[in-house]
Structure formats: C-alpha cells, structure tokens
C-alpha cells in the first residue's frame, strides 16, 4: 500500500516529542490511496478516476490530457469500447454505474472540435521503430513510442488507417470523420503513416529502413469458413468481406431475405447493415441460446429493436435457391446438441459471421517465432515474439479481441520496446489494494440517476448509416462525472475535517488534501468512519511511539 499524505517516520518523531494523547492511542489514522475498480477493469490501463475528477470540475482539457496519457483515442473508445469499467463500478451496487464511456466520448469529441493536439516529446532518441498495421494496437504503440521520443513509421496494407475499426465497425457506431481525426492527431505527433503497403518480408523491411525494433499488429481480417451445401456458392458471403465491401461503397448482392450465421457482435453488425441496405428480412441463425451468445446483450437488443430476427438453437444444414434447412438444437451441459428435428426458412443468401482468422503466413520463415494452432503468434510477457526485437499484439496474438484490449497491447508493447532499445527492462508498478463497495461509507445522498445518451428511434436508425447514439453536452458530462464516488481516494469533501472532535485535521489547500496533527489526535476513528470513499485507514500505533 502506498501512503501519499503521511510520512510515518516524521510523524513518529513528532509524537515522541509531544505531550499530547498519542501515548494512549492504540491506532492512528492515515490518509491512503486504494485502487478503484474502474481503473482495475480498463484493458487500456486508463486512470479513469483521475480524469473523472478533472471532468467533475469542468476542467475538460486537463481531463483529456490525463486520459490520453494512456489512451490516445477517447472519441473512438467512448463509442466502441464495451466499457468493462462500468461493469466493475462500485456505484452499480447503489443505483447504477457511472456512464464512463459517455464522458470519455465527450472529452474525445471536444478535443476534436477544439483541435487539441498532443505535446511533442522534449527529447528524441534517434532510434527507429517500425509498426506494421494501423489498427488500434498499431496506432496505440506508435503513439506511445513517439511520445517516448522514438521515430515511428506505420506500414499499412489498406487504403486508410483504422484496421477493423474502419472496415469492421459500421459507421452508425463509429463515424469515419471521428476515426480519422484521432488518427490524424497521432500523425501530427510525428508518426509516419504509409498506406497501401503490404509487408511480406519483415526482416528485409527492418534492414532497409534502419529499424531497430518492429511491432506487428495486423489484426484478424479473414472470415472463418464452414461447409454449407448450396446450389449457388455465390449466395454465401463472409461477414468481414461483406462489411468491408459496404464500407468501400460496394453493393453486395444479398437479396430480400438474408440469413446471418453466428451469434457474436459481428453477426449483429452484419444483420443491421443488411437492413440498412434494403433487406426486407435479416435473420440471425445461432446454434446456442441467448444465455450462451457471445454478443453483448445491448447489441442484440439494438438489433432486435431495428427489426432483425434471431432464431436461437438452430444450425444451417443446406441452402437452396430461396430457402434453407436448419436443424434445431438443445443445450446439454452448456453445449449445443443436434435434435434431428428440421425446419425450412426462407433466405436468398447467407452471411457467415463465425469469427476471424489472422494472416500470419509471412512470419513463418522467421527464426524463433511460434504459432498457436489457430495461426495466432505466441508472445511473452513483454509482447515479444521468439525473435529478438520483433513484438506483436492485438487480434493476431492469443487474447480476447476488442478494440480496447488491442489498444492496451500497443501501450504495453511500446513500453517494453523502449526498455529493450535501451537495454533495460520495464516493470509496471504494483497497484494499491483494490477497494470494494463494502469498504465505502457512503453517507451522503446518492439518488442521482445517470444521464442517458439520446438514441435515434429504431425505425429512423435502420433507414441509414447516421450515428445512432448522441453524445453529452458539457453540463451532462460534468453531472455524470460528479456521480463518481472516488472509491478509495480523497476528494476533499471535508467529512473528516468536520467530524474530528479534537480539531486534529489540518487542511492543506485545494488539491493538497489534509494531514493529521498527531499531538491532538486521540485515535478515536471518527474521521475514518466519516470518510465516504475510505481514503483513511486506521493502523496499529508504532511500537516506537508507545
């Protein structure tokens, strides 16, 4: 545990030379800092509670600066992150979690509208690092490496930066002007971005460009296949290619009735996109039930609200000219089991949304690099492959596949690459103990309901690709930020100051918190009882002071 506000040695020395009540104390109070659960749950490693504290005071630029110390793309993540921080938020046990993602989006959008830019590094290392892939992991790594003073070049095989953020997430969830604005800000930091350039020889590129290290983050852009007997193979598409074609302005031929095979978030996006392209019916076929669906609940709810139909416990057996045969399934011990019962459903085409594979064949000739059976690349705790100086992250390594996890990979890799270039090692500082809801003393009013984000009506949303969720204005963002309980960390509420019967607490000024006058403190513990966020601990009185 880290004690930020009390020097125990100095205070013990003070106690020995005082004539106060300290000699009769069995415990003394200390100002401490615990680790809030929102910070603990963030895959990008954001100091959420810290930037929320700035937003609470309307200090939005300072909040954005603190946020982007860890994550350079808040406007993107405020839209597409599945915000596990909110699932972990202690306030959820009282009424409902703080809408952290909505405040993050507000800060990101304000930064774009105000043209806030990242500060250039004060020193440059003259070391060159190559990043292969301009998806979330590659962009994050490039940003953090550039801020550390390294010269960074990104080589991207596609025509635009963003990776699956651009080609896999529909624009109704992530407007492209928002995506490109945050990419451009990373470029403005000094990162070179080379588009339409597919790397096939990593070691050759490193030699040719004078790069001392490389971070590979090519994502997983190949849709998984399965065998479905069909008279016309052209009626079967994969979701990744389908979404990419739509993003490129093409019009895939899907017919009036489309079946989407799969139960993940990509399946939901493919079905909703098919509706926006004019399909009269978009039907999701999934072999498990909703309880075992990999898609997030809200994704399924939004799809259903837009008229998408979902047939649970079904698997496709064959596809005819205008129909398909599906077999009903049962869940036994959590696994789908065929029942031998069949039914016929109308469908003009099938879109496969069964997951994605990564294209890592170009790495097979490099000594030391190992692969899992699914083609993903094995990395160690430093995000380095078995070949020295070659690092990898994002969807191409074994991990859960989300934008925020990929962003966290990029940051982690950048810190280890920096250490590797300097022939040192990077060790993340240990976190303070986690603060659970049971340790809070929330005595003040908490009946502050969350501010909802406005949504387009489903029938309007399904008619086009306009963004379906609106953001907060400044007042809404500040209100929502003020719902934060500041778990485990002092926010200067004056509860301890007002409660102390001995006037033993000294205010140090705004932003500096308080300290104890141990000559007056009796160790009664009222201050700790009154601290709503448990920023005060009672510890045994040191033996030397007795």
Q: What is the pLDDT of residues 155-204, one digit of tens each?
A: 999 999 999 999 999 999 999 999 999 999 999 999 999 999 999 999 99
Query: What does the longest C-alpha to C-alpha distance in the chain come to?
Result: 95
Query: Is the pLDDT reported for residue 37 higher than 50?
Result: yes
pLDDT in the model for residue 433:
95
Strands 505-507, 514-516: pairing is antiparallel
Give the per-residue pLDDT at 2. Answer: 33
Phi, psi of 20, rounded to the nearest 5 degrees: -80, -150
Per-domain residue ranges for the chain?
A: 8-33+490-545, 37-116+441-481, 128-221+358-421, 223-354
Closest CA to 178 of 246, 248, 108, 116: 108
As a whole number, mean pLDDT of residues 97-115 equals 98
Residue 80 belongs to what H/E stretch?
helix 74-80
Work out the average pLDDT over 493-511: 93
Structure-token pair, residue 104: 């993050």
Q: pLDDT > 70: what percent of the chain?
A: 94
Q: How confident is the model at residue 17 (pLDDT cuts 50, 70, 90)?
A: very low
Q: Is the pTM of this model over 0.85?
A: yes
Average pLDDT (434-457) is: 87
The residue-averaged pLDDT of 520-537 equals: 93
189's tokens: 């930091």
> What is the C-alpha separation between 314 and 336, in angstroms, rounded?
9
Instruction: Please give the pLDDT value at position 541.
Output: 85
Contacts of 237 (CB under 8 A, 6+ apart): 252, 254, 349, 350, 351, 352
DSSP state at residue 313 = S
CB atoms within 10 A of CB 422: 12
Percentage above 90 pLDDT, the chain: 86
Structure confidence by residue, pLDDT tens digits, 250-272: 989 999 999 999 999 999 999 99
Give the homologous superfamily in CATH for domain 37-116+441-481. Answer: Alpha-helical ferredoxin (1.10.1060.10)
Q: What is the pLDDT of residues 484-501, one digit of tens each?
A: 999 999 999 999 999 999
Residue 172 Cα distances to 33, 105, 453, 464, 474, angstroms: 40, 15, 15, 8, 23
Looking at residue 22, its pLDDT comes to: 52
**Is 70 exceeded by the pLDDT of residue 544?**
no
Q: Is there a shared CATH topology between the 128-221+358-421 domain and the 223-354 domain?
A: yes
pLDDT per residue as tens digits for the range 316-373: 998 888 899 999 999 998 889 999 999 999 999 999 999 999 999 999 999 999 999 9
The per-residue pLDDT for 395 is 95
Q: How confident is the model at residue 444 (pLDDT cuts 50, 70, 90)?
A: low
> Which CATH fold topology does 128-221+358-421 show?
FAD/NAD(P)-binding domain (3.50.50)
Give every CB contact of residue 322 below 8 A, 6+ residues apart in sequence: 257, 346, 347, 348
**Could you tell me the two tokens for 429?**
């500082």
Q: Supply the pLDDT for residue 542.
A: 76
Range 99-109 average pLDDT: 98
How do residues 44-79 score in pLDDT, each as one tens digit?
A: 999 999 999 999 999 999 999 999 999 999 999 999
CATH superfamily to which 223-354 belongs: FAD/NAD(P)-binding domain (3.50.50.60)
Q: Mean pLDDT score of the chain, rounded to an integer?
A: 92
- pLDDT in the model for residue 443: 73
CA distances from 245 to 253, 281, 403 (A): 11, 20, 21
Question: What's the CATH fold of domain 8-33+490-545?
Answer: Alpha-Beta Plaits (3.30.70)
| Nearest by Cα to 46 from 66, 60, 61 | 66
Give the model's pLDDT for residue 10: 36
Q: In the chain, helix, strand, coil percent, each to 5? A: 35, 20, 45
Task: Check whether 504 has a pLDDT greater than 90.
Answer: yes
Q: What is the DSSP string of 398-448?
A: SS---HHHHHHHHHHHHHHHHHHHTT----PPPPPPB--GGG----S----
Query: What are the residue ranges of helices labelled H in 193-296?
Result: 202-209, 239-247, 265-276
Alpha carbons within 13 angstroms on the beta-carbon side of residue 228 total: 30
């Amino acid at each position: 545990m880290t004690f930020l506000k009390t020097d125990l040695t100095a205070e013990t020395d003070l106690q020995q030379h005082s004539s106060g009540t300290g000699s009769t104390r069995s415990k003394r109070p200390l100002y401490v800092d615990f680790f809030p659960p929102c910070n603990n749950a963030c895959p990008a490693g954001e100091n959420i509670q810290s930037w929320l504290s700035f937003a609470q005071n309307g200090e939005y630029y300072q909040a954005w600066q603190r946020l982007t110390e860890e994550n350079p793309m808040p406007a993107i993540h405020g839209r597409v992150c599945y915000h596990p921080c909110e699932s972990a938020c202690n306030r959820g046990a009282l009424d409902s979690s703080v809408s952290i993602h909505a405040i993050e989006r507000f800060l990101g959008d304000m930064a774009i509208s105000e043209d806030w830019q990242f500060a250039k590094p004060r020193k440059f290392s003259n070391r060159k690092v190559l990043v292969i892939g301009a998806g979330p992991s590659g962009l994050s790594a490039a940003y953090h490496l550039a801020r550390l003073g390294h010269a960074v070049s990104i080589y991207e095989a596609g025509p635009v930066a963003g990776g699956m953020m651009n080609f896999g997430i529909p624009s109704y969830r992530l407007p492209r002007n928002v995506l490109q604005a945050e990419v451009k800000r990373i470029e403005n930091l000094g990162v070179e971005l080379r588009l339409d350039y597919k790397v096939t020889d990593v070691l050759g590129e490193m030699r040719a460009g004078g790069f001392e290290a490389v971070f590979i983050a090519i994502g997983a852009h190949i849709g998984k296949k399965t065998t479905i007997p069909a008279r016309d193979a052209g009626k079967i598409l994969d979701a990744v290619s389908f979404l990419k074609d739509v993003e490129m302005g093409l019009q895939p031929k899907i017919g009036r009735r489309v079946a989407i095979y799969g139960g993940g978030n990509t399946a939901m996006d493919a079905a909703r996109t098919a509706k926006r392209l004019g399909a009269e019916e978009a039907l999701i076929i999934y072999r498990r039930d909703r309880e075992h669906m990999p898609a997030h609940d809200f994704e399924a709810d939004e799809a259903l609200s837009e008229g998408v139909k979902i047939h649970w416990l079904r698997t496709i057996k064959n596809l005819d000219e205008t129909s398909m045969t599906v077999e009903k399934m049962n869940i036994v011990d959590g696994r789908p089991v065929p029942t031998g019962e069949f039914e016929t459903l109308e469908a003009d085409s099938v879109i496969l949304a069964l997951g994605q594979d990564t294209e890592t064949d170009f790495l097979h000739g490099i000594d030391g690099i190992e692969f899992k059976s699914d083609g993903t690349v094995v990395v160690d705790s430093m995000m380095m492959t078995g070949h020295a100086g070659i690092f990898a992250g994002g969807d191409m390594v074994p991990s859960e596949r989300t934008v925020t996890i990929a962003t966290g990979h990029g940051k982690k890799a950048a810190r280890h690459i920096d250490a590797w270039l300097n022939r040192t090692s990077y060790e993340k500082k240990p976190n303070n103990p986690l603060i659970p809801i049971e340790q809070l003393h929330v005595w003040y009013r908490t009946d502050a309901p969350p501010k909802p984000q406005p949504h387009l009506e489903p029938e309007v949303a399904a008619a086009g690709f306009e963004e379906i969720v609106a953001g907060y204005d400044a007042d809404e963002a500040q209100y929502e930020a003020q719902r934060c309980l500041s778990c485990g960390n002092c926010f200067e509420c004056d509860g301890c100051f007002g409660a102390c019967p001995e006037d033993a607490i000294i205010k140090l000024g705004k932003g500096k918190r308080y300290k104890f006058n141990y000559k007056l403190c009796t160790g009664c513990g009222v201050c700790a009882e009154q601290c709503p966020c448990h920023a005060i601990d009672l510890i045994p009185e040191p033996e030397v002071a007795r």
